[in-house]
Chain A
Amino acid sequence: MNTNSRIERSRRDLLASAAVGAGGLMLGSPLQASAVKDGKAKAVIQIWMWGGPSHLDTFDPKPEAGADYCGPFNAPIETNVNGIRIGQKLPLMAQQADSYSIIRSMTHGINAHETASYVTQTGRPVGGDVYPCAGAVVSRFKGYDAGYNGLLPPYIVLTKPQGRFSESGFMGLRYKPFATGGKPSAPVFTVEGVIQKGITEARQKNRRDLLASLETFGSKMKDNPEFKHMDGCQEQAYELILGDAGKVFDVNTEDPKLRERYGKSDFGASCLIARKLVEAGVPYVTINYNGWDTHKKHFDIMNTKLTELDRGFSTLLDDLRQRGLLDSTIVWWGGEFGRSPKIQWDAPWNGGRSHFGKCFSHVVAGGGFQGGQVVGASNATGEEVADRPVYPWDLIGSVYEQLGIDTTARLPHPQGLDARVCPTEADGVTMGGRLREIMS
């Protein structure tokens, strides 16, 4: 990692926020040194396929199953790894199969968005407390509590929070992602709060002075700990508004050819920005990629959407590798479930696919995960796991291991209950086992 390019918060502010902690306001509980060590991976880019993408049309094609399963996509393509075929709409990804591994035996059996999103992103079974998702856990073990001192928040989502469940679970607001808002592909990506069109730096400064001179009430209570904390928050905010950290969101400084390769879509721009964020030292970035809940017009949508995915995803992998970041960055692709292998031809679906949690695919690359491998297998129609089931906790636990996070470490719990990073068989879950076959 190029530490020079990391944008660091000044020591003064760090001290200021530490003082707030002493004042009894919310600060993370101390992190045990043994809970996290240096791992192969330093960061994660999660491409969250909101709504659940079809596994048959992406990374687990089944042309032999016939038209009722593969529809018009009956000609999967060979990749640059012998014996691995993927969907025909992903030709660029096919050229890079050696840099990622496909898990074709993901399973949890849940077909409801909310519950499946929860299980897939937290790596926890349903029931009891609401646990934090992977981004929030990484934020705990690699973020401020672990000495992260970047100006940019340690957990960023492009562009909207995903909803469905509370991302930080019982750990609360401190570990929630910073949602950028805005439109990444716009000429100016107005990241909410960070980048404001049409207000010059001089005016920002004048405003700041104006505010200070109108803080009549606040100035009477300077010693109040809550107000001091608020002052600290405001200083931090201004470092982002007036400082250089926000420039990381500006893709205009990038090579136009590279931008072209990523694609000018919001997804393409998000992939490029995700790379820049990781380069700047942000440990967890989620690209919340909407639009995969295709009950109707499925194949029409896939025709355009897969091309967009192909460009952004493949260029991201290539770009990370060329910059020497892929070895330390995990790219994790997947949604809450797959889609029904059998096509629903009848009205009102007219060629749609429904939710399918029994068997689906996820993809991992980088950060110590080998490329060019397929883990597990589905059956001939993609409806059952045929070999080596992988549960969400197996995958997420493997991600944590690569990051050096102790999967048995305790999570901060508001009622002080004993909550651990990953579930074990003692929690009543069936284990498929960590992804040892692709972990180096």
Chain B
Amino acid sequence: MMTLRLGRWCFAVLVACVAGTLGVEAAPGKASAKIDRMVLSRLDELGIPPSDLCTDEVFLRRVYLDLIGTLPTAEEAAAFLKSNATNKRSDLIDALFERPEFADYWSLKWCDLLRVKAEFPSKLWPNAVQAYHRWVRQALVNNTPYDDFARALLTSSGSNFRVAPVNFYRAMPEREPDTTARVVALTFMGARTDGWPAEKARNLAAFFGHVNYKGTAEWKEEIVFHDPVKEYLDPETEQPVPAILPDGTAVELDPNEDPRVVFADWLVGSRVFADNIVNRVWFWLLGRGVVHEPDDLRADNPPSNAPLLAFLSEELVRNEYDLRHVYRIILNSKTYQRASIHNEGNLSDEVNFSRYYPRRLGAEVLIDAICQITKTTESYSSEIPEPFTFIPENQRSIKLSDGSITSPFLDLYGRPPRDTGYESERNNTPSAAQKLHLLNSTHIQTKIASNKQLLGMTTKKQKNKKKPVAGWLEPADAIENMYLTILSRYPTAKETNVAIAYVRDGGLGRYDASVDLVWALLNTKEFIFKH
């Protein structure tokens, strides 16, 4: 089994060799440039002209939403737009990694994929949900190398409350090795075992045939452990199923060894392991995978740009599985920073990244943005178990750990139910019902009306008077503040004129007219989409 133990080494060596022939791209800037060359080369082949680079105001809003799932504040927007620093885009990218929202937002993503939910069909129970979410978040804060992250999830043993990554084996609808194998392949290989020969899936399941579970004296505590005695038998032949790795290598399992470790050793050294995660990161940031769907990697679903996928994987391995490096080289590329506005030749391109593809804001990001703008909060509670748990009012929605917490708004906007771990569970397709809610619900109207400052109201203390005097900002100033707060940019002269005319001639009082202005900006495509 020599080759097995050398799995990671093999791929690492391969990467080193390839790097040797192609020239090492050490600096992130160079790697970003290489991404651009690869994308442009493909576009060139196809005769598709790329869009121009986006403006600073577009970049600012985009990178905030993509990287930390959070809208810039008016102050942040103004400061960035004013800055003359030469590297202000890459400096901003670096700064955003350090924000707590970075870890919040990507924990949300990971918890979608890991099906983190207190009840049905995964039944983690709230304590374990908290522990698991905290563990994932801490890994993101620490920037734990991705291979270590995966290895911890795959090989841990212990209590669901105390050794949080064991919950990987609990966040599944069933606990048969077949289900585990399906989930492992989907999560770490982007592979759907439904399309595999049954034999191949079963041979993978053999690596999880000794995973066992037992309760403790503590309510809902559960120990996940390697059970050498447990057997995984073929349902037809009733013989032990041979352990064969997805690449076809048969493994003689040592009864004293946890086969999960054997599998994890192979996995983290495999090409598919790197391909899967870099392709997902690309998908998360650009809205479409190099292989698409991003969790459907297979020979007959080729990447739209094979050299690009290979390069991203090599960069990951060369940089010790540092995911932030992959994020960084993508975000600093011109490819990521292209305008979403199409030119005459690239409207129909939806797969080669000749422009940035606009996407509707995700459910949690959207409601957080609305709450930030209107200085309001959302109420969330969990019915599991009784007595109900209430989430602190000022907590952002991207920080919700538990998929069992229900919310009509989040449901309406396509938050994933965390049933399967498929990326497609999150549905960002706009619907008429969503539009109805944003246009005309009491929920949104109440929020808009509650931020008096945003509407342009002022209070001034006056000498010799106890009560401050209420007043209004100059309409143009109020409108500028609305634009910076909601759309993270200054209004154009035309927009200012339209807005002023609405305030002056709309036949409404200043208050109602201001409510309508905020309402209109919240309903523009510019607000609802990342672009």
**Interface residues of A, Cβ cutoff 8 Å to B:** 24-26, 112-115, 118, 126-130, 153, 160-161, 163-166, 169-170, 172-174, 176, 178-179, 181-182, 190, 192-194, 196-197, 199, 203-204, 206-207, 210-211, 213-218, 220-221, 223-224, 226-227, 229-230, 232-234, 236-238, 240-241, 295, 414-415, 417
The residues of B that contact A197 with a CB separation of less than 8 Å are 442
Number of A-B residue pairs with CB-CB distance less than 8 Å in the complex they form: 186
- Asked, given contacts A128-B173, A227-B525, A234-B435, whether A221 binds B341 with beta carbons under 8 Å apart, the answer is yes
CB distance from B428 to the nearest CB of A (A): 9
Question: What's the least CB distance linking A249 to chain B, in Å?
Answer: 13
Question: 7 tightest A-B contacts by CB?
Answer: A193-B436, A166-B417, A114-B120, A163-B406, A217-B526, A218-B525, A236-B432
Q: Judging by beta carbons under 8 Å apart, are A207 and B435 in contact? A: no
Question: Which residues on B sit within 8 Å (CB–CB) of A130?
Answer: 121, 173, 417, 419-420
| Contacting residues, chain A, for B437 (C-beta < 8 A) | 192-193
| In the bound complex, CA of A118 to CA of B383 (Å) | 16
Map CB proximity to A onto B519-531 as digits: 1 under 8 Å, 0 otherwise. 1110111101101
- CB-contact partner of A241 in B341, B439, B498, B529, under 8 A: B439
Assuming the contacts A26-B429, A173-B427, A240-B436, asked whether A417 and B521 have C-beta atoms less than 8 A apart, the reply is no
12 pairs, CB–CB < 8 Å, chain A vs chain B: A126-B173, A165-B417, A178-B433, A192-B436, A203-B516, A210-B520, A211-B523, A214-B524, A218-B524, A218-B525, A218-B526, A415-B422
Q: Which of A217, A237, A415 contacts B192 (CB 8 A)?
A: A415
Chain A residues with CB below 8 A from B110, complex form: none
Contact size range, B = 35 or more
Is A237 in contact with B432, judged by CB distance below 8 angstroms? yes
Are B442 and A190 in contact (CB-based, < 8 A)?
Answer: yes
A238 CA to B439 CA, complexed, in Å: 9
In whole Å, how far is A239's beta carbon from the nearest beta carbon of chain B? 9
Kindly identify which residue among A129, A193, A213, A414 contacts B498, using a CB–CB cutoff of 8 Å.
A213
B194, A210: Cβ atoms closer than 8 Å? no
Q: Given the interface contacts A130-B121, A192-B437, does A172 sit within 8 Å of B427 by beta carbon? A: yes
Q: Does B430 contact A (CB under 8 A)?
A: yes
Q: Chain B 485-525 against A: per-residue CB contact (8 Å), 1 yes, 0 no? A: 00000001011001100100011100010001101110111
Chain B residue at minimum C-beta to C-beta distance from A168: B417
Residue from the list A128, A176, A193, A206 in contact with B516, Cβ < 8 A: A206
Q: Is the CB of B492 within 8 A of A207?
A: no
* Distance A238 CA – B440 CA, assembled complex (angstroms): 9
B residues less than 8 Å from A190 (CB atoms): 442
Q: How far is the CA of A285 from the CA of B498 in the complex (A)?
A: 43
Within the complex, the shortest CB–CB distance from A429 to chain B, in Å, comes to 16
Residues of B233-292 whose CB lies within 8 A of A:
none
Name the contact of A161 in the complex, choosing from B411, B441, B516 (C-beta under 8 A): B411
Give the complex CA separation of A216 and B525 in angstroms: 9
Q: Which of A192, A215, A223 contacts B342 (CB 8 A)?
A: A223
Query: Within the complex, which residue of A26, A210, A215, A232 is in contact with B517, where a contact is CB–CB below 8 Å?
Result: A210
**Which residues in A have their C-beta under 8 angstroms from that of B529?**
226-227
Known: A127-B173, A224-B358, A415-B194. A233 touches B434 (CB 8 A): yes
Q: Collect the chain B residues with CB atoms within 8 Å of residue A179's CB.
A: 408, 411-412
| B7 contacts chain A at the CB level, 8 A cutoff | no
B377 at the interface (CB under 8 A from A): no
CB distance from B19 to the nearest CB of A (A): 37
